[in-house]
Copies of this chain bind each other. A is one copy, B any other.
Amino acid sequence: MSVGNTFFKTAFSVDNVIFGFDDSLLKVLLIKRAERPFKDQWALPGDLVFPEEHLDDAPKRVLRELTGLENVFLEQVATFGKVDRHPVGRVITIAYYSLVNIAKVHPKPHSFAEEISWHEVSKIQSLAFDHMLIMNKCLQNLKSKVRTQPIGFELLPQKFTLSELQDLYEAVLGKSLDKRNFRKKILSLEVLLDQEEYQQGVAHRPAKLYQFDRLRYEEAKSLGFTFEV
């Protein structure tokens, strides 16, 4: 049909902002590009979407290829479509972010990447393409969502201390929180299971371990409960 000549000339890609939490720091998984354009620069992992691939399957594929992970938290955030955002042609990109438990990830380079590693989010100065913009948009979304949905737990090991949980919130929100208020608030939500276990192998007095009680949360939610930190 006639519109074919004018319109069916675009490619579209996905970009994955994969957040992890380690050493009390919020990190993001970046690749070093092996090819032009932006060769040797750090970039978000991503790929072109195949003609016969459902859009939502593409970020899952990228994630699986780079990290081996499946069934992790993945959310579509926004689509970026400036005319000149890609030097090779018109490429629209759809940004997704994931939250992963960093201990479970053994990243390996794939396709466009010659290197892959975790980078502290607050230290990143520049990225290839419009990837700074994309990363910041996803970070903004995470900051707002982490306060009202129990997604922060995705970034932690199954069992964690209240200090680790507070460190996580402070890293994501980029500000320090009052320890007493934080503990009071989080415990009052009644979605943490006391594991009746303590940390092992730490120099200081071992702290209690907790686990997120997803079942209890889902039940409470269905009755109108709202998570809020």
A residues adjacent to B (C-beta < 8 A): 1, 3-4, 6-12, 48-56, 76, 78-83, 88-90, 92, 94
23 A-B residue pairs with Cβ-Cβ distance under 8 Å, sorted by A, are A3-B88, A4-B89, A6-B51, A7-B51, A8-B9, A8-B11, A8-B89, A8-B90, A9-B51, A10-B10, A10-B11, A12-B81, A12-B92, A52-B83, A53-B83, A55-B79, A55-B80, A55-B81, A55-B82, A76-B78, A76-B79, A81-B94, A92-B92
Distance between Cα atoms of A53 and B52 in the complex (Å): 25
Known: A7-B49, A10-B11, A55-B92. 10 other contacts (CB 8 A): A3-B48, A8-B89, A10-B10, A10-B12, A10-B51, A55-B81, A55-B82, A56-B81, A79-B94, A92-B92
**Overall SS of chain A's interface:** loop
Chain B CB count within 10 A is highest, among A79, A92, A94, for A79
Contact B82 A79 (CB under 8 A): no
Residues in B neighbouring A12, C-beta threshold 8 A: 10, 12, 81, 92
Nearest B residue (CB) for A8:
B11
Nearest B residue (CB) for A10:
B10
Residues in B neighbouring A94, C-beta threshold 8 A: 79, 81, 92
Distance between Cα atoms of A1 and B89 in the complex (Å): 10
For residue A122, give the distance in angstroms from its CB to the closest CB of chain B: 22
Nearest B residue (CB) for A55:
B81
Distance between Cα atoms of A78 and B56 in the complex (Å): 11
Distance between Cα atoms of A12 and B1 in the complex (Å): 16
Residues in B neighbouring A78, C-beta threshold 8 A: 76
Residues in B neighbouring A11, C-beta threshold 8 A: 3, 7-10
Contact A49 B89 (CB under 8 A): no
